[in-house]
Structure 1
Amino acid sequence: MNDTKRITEGALMTGVYLLLLLVIIFMPMVIAPVLLFTLPVPFIFYSYRHNWKAGALMFTAALLFTLLFGPAFSMFTLLAGVGGVFLGGALHNKQSSLEAWAFGSIGFSIGAASIYMISQLLFEVSWGEQIRSSMNEALTRTDTMLLRVLGGENTEEQLEPVREMIDFLPDIIPSILVMIGIAFAFISQWLTFKVINRVEQKKLRFPPFKEFKLPTAVLWYYFFALILTYFPTDEEGLLYLGSINVFTLAGSLLVLQGFSFIFYYAEVKKWSKAIPAVIAVICLLLPQILLYLVRILGIIDIGFSLRERIKGKK
């Protein structure tokens, strides 16, 4: 009886996934990217209900369907399926919300990396060159507009730092893929919590952002990668690419830690909830200076147990 129920529910969830995929394919380009975050929900929900092995079978069936009827769209299945099974399996094993998010981030990162490797090896699509060429084209159009507005003044010097950043982007593609995996896991898990709470009358949720705390190991990864970036290495070598990607990813997580501390401090000081939100927006609008300060705040929070000190004073 249980096997029949599991098979029936698996077929239903596979159908729901394929229906969502069809909707995304035929929706306008403006709306379709937003709906992409709903694709992993059937995999997460089914793996949560029946364990990761059942979820893996559902993923295999969905992948075969998309390979048969639309091989190009199997990339969506690869991303949504792998991440969904990881995340749903963690929820099935009663992991906490943040632990499940970590597992889901790993799964989605693996899915994104698999798409990257397949497109590179089978379809000979160079993501680095595509990113560089498209952003340089956009920058050239911006430069032309600025020349017209400024009456022929040379803006090349002002745009030089932007061009350097564009040339740097292909080097941190692995970090970008992991960040995509983290974002996909968070949004998909949040959507799945809404479904589970509605269907099973539960109260699954993420803890408040002010309670977000990274493990101390992230701080060590950041400092080791920072030290390695000062060594003279070949910019095409694995040591350079590995260190710069770990540095970028760990630094981004420390920025998140810094924002979490700001929300925690605002709660301790009984500030209005709007104040930390406004601070976060201002920091994102002026990233060159303020995000570095937020990162330093995150480093101090982890390295010197800043919250415990504030709690002790209170």
Structure 2
Amino acid sequence: MKLRWTSVAWSVVYLLLLLSLATPLTVVTAFFLIVPGVVLYTTLSTKAFVLHIAPVWIISALIFGPAFLLEAAYFLIPAVVMGHLYKKRVSALRTILTGAGSITVLFLLLLLIGTVFFDFNLTATIEDMLNTATAPLQNVAESPFAGGVVWTPELSEQLSSMTVRFIPFTIIMCSFVFATIAHAIARPTLGSMGHIVPKLPPFRDWRLPRALIWYYLIGLIVQLFTGATATNGFLGTILLNLIPLLQFLFMIQSASLFFFAAYHRKWNPAIPVLLVVALLFFPLLWIVGVFDIAFPLREKLTRPRR
């Protein structure tokens, strides 16, 4: 009975989160929409899961119309994917990456459907939003009180073009954040309900694949000899998104090394935190992560002192 009422409570939470998509709160609540689905799918049988989800979808469709279910499905499918992996006791990292991958694929699928059947143009939409946001800056630049402020339509066009080309990077990062938040909340919740699922290893023990270095070197070489990121072609867009993504991963590896060193060298706990803060202000410190992947720095840190 306890589990049944807990499931009902999560169904109510799921309904409230779905309804919030039609409000300004969606900017915050959307990040948590996967969580109820993960919890319900992991703790219930398939039949019971459908019986809990169906009333929520029916109520949502009655309030906002059947088209709203497409948005609901976008958040439920990754929840089912992650819940299925939890049931199989798959590692936490693989679950997060698979969940993030499913979110990315679904976004691309919805984008394809919107483009083909509803004549939706994501590029034009983003450009319109940015032009609206930067219009006041242009008005200021044209006023006699602008001083040294100069904002031209050409700058707005360049900003729009760059933003559009960064869409793949943005999608991947947002998908990873969605999946990570879902795991961070669902895992302890499931544990409290008697469903033990794997957890991520301590951050200090994270080690990224060495192949990432080769991807980065190949990207730099291609960029050096072709100047691809300066063009709007397909290759330029790939490099424009791939290189920052790899640098972000190297930053994560650097932060992991800082906490590893602090743990094994018995440093003050504030030291790795300060180093991570420095990493945010001096992004070039990601090179530490490259050395951590390429060389046995951790073995040297843990080697007994003579």
Q: TM-score range by the shorter chain?
A: 0.7 to 0.9
Secondary structure class of the residue paired with 2:193: helix
* Residue 37 of structure 1: aligned partner: 31
Matches within 5 A, 1:1-314: 17-22=14-19, 24-25=20-21, 29=24, 31-49=25-43, 65=58, 70-142=65-137, 152-156=146-150, 164=158, 166-200=160-194, 202=196, 205-230=199-224, 231-232=226-227, 235-284=231-280, 286=281, 290-291=282-283, 293-312=284-303
- TM-score, with length taken from structure 2: 0.77
Q: CA deviation at 1:90?
A: 1.7
Q: Distance in 2 between matches of 1:219 and 1:82?
A: 33
Pair 64,34 (structure 1): closer, same or farther in 2 beyond 3 Å: closer
Pair 259,92 (structure 1): closer, same or farther in 2 beyond 3 Å: same
Unaligned stretches of 5+ residues in structure 2: none
Whether the 8 Å contact between 1:62 and 1:77 is mirrored in structure 2 is: no
Pair 121,248 (structure 1): closer, same or farther in 2 beyond 3 Å: farther
Q: CA deviation at 1:304?
A: 1.6
Unaligned stretches of 5+ residues in structure 1: 1-7
- Aligned CA-pair RMSD: 4.0
Q: Distance in 1 between matches of 2:79 and 2:265?
A: 39
Per-residue Cα deviation, 1:176-231 (whole angstroms, up to 9, x for no partner): 11111100000011111132022117486433322222122222222222323332
Whose radius of gyration is greater, 1 or 2? Answer: 2
Whether the 8 Å contact between 2:91 and 2:198 is mirrored in structure 1 is: no
* Residue 5 of structure 1: aligned partner: none
Seq. identity, %:
24
- TM-score, with length taken from structure 1: 0.76
Whether the 8 Å contact between 1:47 and 1:89 is mirrored in structure 2 is: yes
Q: CA deviation at 1:313?
A: 5.7
Q: Distance in 1 between matches of 2:177 and 2:277?
A: 18
2:30 partner letter: L
Q: CA deviation at 1:170?
A: 0.9
